Chain A
């Protein structure tokens, strides 16, 4: 088990995860900033703390404090995405993101659209400098790793899978086998759309139309449970991960079509990134090129080959012939400056 967890992966994979998840969650904070700050205007009696908000002194935060935390979070998130002082900016951003999203969820409604994003960032934060390839840290030090310990990416994959399994198990625990007959799902889709109409929000006309056709909901309910409870197959291999991710993505597209509920993190595919060979995805190389080694770096004949040793790199082997380098992994070395 631990061998599987720590099996090395191309360094670009974790760098892509850091850049994409970091950029997304930072942009998310920016997009939500005004709405989070406005929460301070709600009556204090509506404050229902969840998670770490239980330990916030004095309940709801002043709007000025929220804006300050937000600004700090955006700066930390940007630096984390760029890979500057990852040992510092990772934990700082992870902590601020946790606090701010927890605050947002502490007003009577847990949104569930942020849970996985926060969990992934916390894992990347705990990984510290492990994701330092294609980063300002690596550029400053002139070090490029070819492979790294794959635990952060696998931990994120495991957490992704667990969250889907939990959602499936909860349906069976709460509603029992009756959830499968589709009636409950039909009522929820109808109710959710009705509620949106009556509360002045966009609804899904397709969902409103479909609730008139009861028979459709049994296959939809079964398919939902198959995707959720079947999530562990994504850990078997990359090809299974691709198939499951596609099915889960289609499930979220269905949720948008029938309920106008947007889970942007999975809909953009970011939730599934840790399960895939991210470095092989279209555009992945281009994405990290601006922080990674240049063509010149890659062509440089290594007088000193830097070998990844956990989180640090040491000029351990000098004059190692090219044939002795790890085959098929392009991340090359760059001499120290």
Chain B
């Protein structure tokens, strides 16, 4: 008898957990399109309409000869490139103080060969980028700062 009750309760528990999880995970179906959270999400990556021309906020390093270098995401405090991108975007949206803080932080850890760090927003044609070379169509420079090595030289 006790065993039968225990089994019934476990059955009900299993049913309740399954229904609750299914409802929770399905909830984005009736929420706003593109709802994103964790661990429940509508998985909106690559759903949003994306134009062929896009803006990309990023940080570049410049050597003494004027050559530009792509910087690794670790300089932005993460090994995740998307997180690094979000960090730059947040700083750009945050204004001058956040940009200065970001630029200085990157400059402090940049390789010695770099003399200055720039936070920029480049505009690219994403398809032409892979066909006609990798130059941006346009650039907005938000901030630039000297690296410690440049300071030493000076």
> A residues engaging B (CB < 8 A)?
2, 5-6, 35, 38-39, 41-43, 45-46, 50-51, 98, 101-102, 105-112, 114-115, 118-119, 122-123, 126-127, 130, 149, 151-152, 154-155, 158-159, 162-163, 166-167, 169-171, 173-175, 178-179, 184-188, 190-201, 208-209, 211-212, 309-312, 314, 316
Contacts and interface: CB of A to CB of B under 8 A. Distances in A.
A43 B101 contact: yes
Given A111-B82, A155-B21, A196-B81, A166 B29 contact: yes
Contacts of B134: 197
Contacts of B47: 170-171, 173-175, 179
Nearest to A102: B38
A193 B130 contact: yes
A312 B81 contact: no
Interface of B: 3, 6-7, 9-11, 13-15, 17-18, 21-22, 25-26, 28-29, 33-34, 36-52, 54, 56, 58, 70-73, 77-87, 89-90, 94, 98, 101-102, 122, 124, 126-127, 129-131, 134
Q: Which of B17, B47, B48, B87 has the most CB of A within 10 A?
A: B47
Contacts, number: 223
A105 B40 CA distance: 12
A310 B37 contact: no
Contact of B58 (A166, A174, A199, A208): A199
B127 A173 contact: no
Contacts of B40: 51, 115
Nearest to A103: B38
Nearest to A261: B45
B77 to A, nearest CB: 5
Contacts of A175: 47-49
Q: Which of A101, A118, A149, A191 has the most CB of B within 10 A?
A: A191
A139 B106 CA distance: 54
A163 B74 CA distance: 31
B22 A159 contact: yes
A149 B7 CA distance: 10
B80 A6 contact: no
B94 A163 contact: no
26 contacts: A38-B79, A42-B77, A42-B78, A43-B101, A50-B37, A105-B38, A108-B87, A108-B90, A110-B37, A110-B41, A151-B18, A155-B14, A155-B21, A171-B47, A173-B42, A174-B34, A194-B129, A198-B70, A199-B58, A199-B81, A199-B84, A200-B71, A209-B130, A212-B130, A311-B6, A312-B3
Nearest to B5: A310
A212 B126 CA distance: 10
A38 B78 contact: yes
B11 to A, nearest CB: 6
A167 B36 CA distance: 11
A117 to B, nearest CB: 9
Contacts of B43: 112, 115, 163, 166-167, 170
Contact of B14 (A5, A102, A212): A5
A312 B6 CA distance: 9
Given A110-B36, A110-B37, A200 B87 contact: no
A200 B89 contact: no
A184 B54 CA distance: 13
A235 B147 CA distance: 58
Given A35-B78, A46-B86, A179-B47, A110 B14 contact: no
A169 B21 contact: no
Q: Which of B18, B44, B46, B50 has the most CB of A within 10 A?
A: B46
A225 to B, nearest CB: 11
A309 to B, nearest CB: 4
Contact of B86 (A5, A107, A119): A107
Nearest to B16: A126
Contacts of A152: 14
A187 B51 contact: yes
A41 B108 CA distance: 14
Contact of B126 (A151, A155, A190, A200): A190
Given A46-B86, A175-B47, A310-B6, A6 B11 contact: yes
